[in-house]
Amino acid sequence: MSNKFVLLSILLVTAVFISGCIFDKNKETPVNKIGSDIIPAAGLPPGFTYMGTHDAKLDIGGSSVNATEGVYRNGGDDMYIQVIQNDKPETLLAQYKLQLKQQYKSDYNPFEDISFNGHNATKVTDYTTVKGEQKARYSVMWTNETFMILVGSSFDPQVVSALATATGH
């Protein structure tokens, strides 16, 4: 009888110890939550390869914001899906758009309203110099629930749209 009691006690203590090591309620785990919910690793559009997910920091409105970034390869381009969890994602998106708009000295508006997966988003057209030539690069951004999501960038707007649609959000 005492051997069974000791064995049962050891099993119970081991189970409690293991669950305490794996599930730490005080530690935030945005990569696991966001990674499985918004950043797709499978079921990607043709030509995309999922490279991994990691934590990242973005500067929005002069503040450093924590994000989770999924990295993808499409042909020779590396692309990303950046997800920021925030209580007011619409405000954060407005700050980010203002920051992008201020990069231009002219009246150029880099934003275009688009729609996919049943919600509205913003396509951003930014210009970069490649081999002495100005080329457009595209990205897409939107909010969903408590998330601000950024997808980009690529020289092909269809490629960006395909990756954004793959989020399902």
Mean pLDDT of all residues belonging to the chain: 81
Report the pLDDT value the prediction gives residue 72, as an integer from 0 to 100.
96
Structure tokens at 148: 């601000």
Report the pLDDT value the prediction gives residue 104, as an integer from 0 to 100.
77
Report the pLDDT value the prediction gives residue 57, as an integer from 0 to 100.
93
Is pLDDT at 1 greater than 60 in this prediction?
no
Tens of pLDDT, residues 138-162: 999 999 989 999 998 999 999 999 9
- pTM of this structure: 0.76
Is pLDDT at 45 greater than 90 in this prediction?
yes
Q: Outline where the chain has alpha helix (H).
A: 2-22, 30-37, 89-101, 157-166
CATH classification number, 29-166, choose in 3.40.640.10, 1.10.10.10, 3.30.750.24, 3.30.200.100: 3.30.200.100
pLDDT band at 51 (very low <50, low <70, confident <90, very high): very high
Residue 96, helix vs strand vs coil: helix
Tens of pLDDT, residues 81-121: 999 999 999 999 999 999 988 887 778 889 999 999 888 99
Is pLDDT at 125 greater than 80 in this prediction?
yes
Taking a C-beta distance cutoff of 8 angstroms, is the pair 138, 152 a contact? yes
Report the pLDDT value the prediction gives residue 107, as an integer from 0 to 100.
80
